Chain A
């Protein structure tokens, strides 16, 4: 085990330029992947903010009595998907309106009496904020007496739903492309570092080292490459998002579990890349030895020497 750790450390500190390139490429790959994850997290945050604003207002008939309103309020509360209800009286609606429009609005002075209807503000549970459920809840409420009108912004909810579906589709495709290209680039970069030491692998195989002994130093090195690459890219991403957040409101950076996932992803990339590379390198060395017509090779060497 001491040898394996020594070799991994030697490999990491000896080939400085190669390690620099490997860590650099892993950093770039994970930075792009992290950018995608952070972008997705911000997209989800934006969707949540938009969905939080979805609320249903049930406008009531002016002729409704207080007891009827209370009964209606209770009936609405029992509908599946309704989280909370809040009665807003005509006076309260007027006060809210005044607050929003400013006291001395000429629009208000045009009316002699309060033109605003009383209403029940219905908060729908997050899971039911889909166009279908909202319509279903709205249809159920319409069946109750005393309901004048219901408003939940059905048109823009349909648009929002369509946009969310398209964004999710693009996000998944992008995610697959970025993940595959990261794996491909990292695998090929690590392969170069492993192939640069194929002579050593060949000798290890010759003197009777087990596959574990041959592979482990490279795998540990790959995991360390992945760890460094992901830590550097996470730090860059954090600085970038802190800067953007200072300029643009509602921008979030990855939460701690996503940062952990990003670092883990880097280490998995390093592990898989080095594991596959060293296996492939060993197989190729063995294949070359098995298939190469030895005599032909020597004849060629001799003829070159003879010249």
Chain B
């Protein structure tokens, strides 16, 4: 489904963001992507939705390859991928309903389907009751739930969550994680980047990144906590 083959990414000559990354993510998996800030987590995620391209190597996602994809095909790939960020990226001048419906409106979904799908997505994240609120009226956790609703409305095969709880209080963090697990049980793969290791559930997969290289996650835990998980 997602395949990184010998991927290198240089921002500048002396700035190696990814260094010979080889990894595979299969359908329906839940993976954490851990590492310190600057380890290459966001770069790796951006390569999945082809915001960034490798300097060397190849990334294959749902049949598209970074080597052969055309600019006009990138929107088609992105419709199969959901992405959420630490800063939510909601439109401040639109209410919750419009923010979620936006993802369908701009991709040419039939008008009659938009209302039904939007309400379903809002129900899935338990935000139906706040559909008329504006982002500034919501807590961080609620805003992230709206962002999740927008990301899953197109029924993506994977949801990329880049530090999704970075701006959320502990209670909200718990809700977001539960929501991500729930989405995963319905068959959507999740790749969640975080540097908050307390959020990691042992039964899920963990991909460790250090200085742009994939490493054994235990090495990262050892470095950070002296071996205590």
Which residues from chain A sit less than 8 Å from chain B, CB to CB?
2-3, 14, 199-200, 202-211, 213-214, 286, 289-296, 298-299, 302
Contact = CB atoms under 8 A, between A and B. Distances in A.
Interface string B148-192: 001000100000000000000000000000000000000000000
A293 B11 contact: yes
B38 A203 contact: no
A214 B106 contact: yes
B107 A291 contact: no
B154 A208 contact: yes
Contacts of B150: 207
A289 B78 contact: no
Contact residue range for chain B? Answer: 20 to 34
26 contacts: A3-B108, A14-B93, A200-B91, A203-B91, A203-B102, A207-B102, A207-B103, A207-B106, A207-B150, A208-B78, A208-B103, A211-B72, A211-B75, A213-B107, A289-B51, A289-B52, A290-B52, A293-B11, A293-B15, A294-B46, A295-B17, A295-B37, A295-B40, A295-B42, A298-B37, A302-B37
Interface in B8-54: 11-12, 15, 17, 37-40, 42-43, 46, 49, 51-52
A294 B43 contact: yes
Given A207-B106, A208-B79, A293-B15, A199 B37 contact: no
B107 A206 contact: no
A291 B53 CA distance: 11
Contacts of A202: 89
Given A293-B15, A295-B17, A203 B89 contact: yes
A283 to B, nearest CB: 11
Contacts of B75: 208-211
Interface of B: 11-12, 15, 17, 37-40, 42-43, 46, 49, 51-52, 72, 74-79, 83, 89, 91, 93, 102-103, 105-108, 111, 150, 154
Given A210-B107, A295-B17, 9 more contacts: A199-B89, A206-B78, A210-B75, A210-B108, A211-B72, A213-B106, A294-B42, A294-B43, A302-B37
**Most chain B Cβ neighbours within 10 Å, of A200, A293, A295, A296:** A295
Nearest to A286: B51
Given A200-B91, A202-B89, A203-B91, A295 B39 contact: yes
Give the one of A199, A205, A206, A299 with max B CB within 10 A.
A206
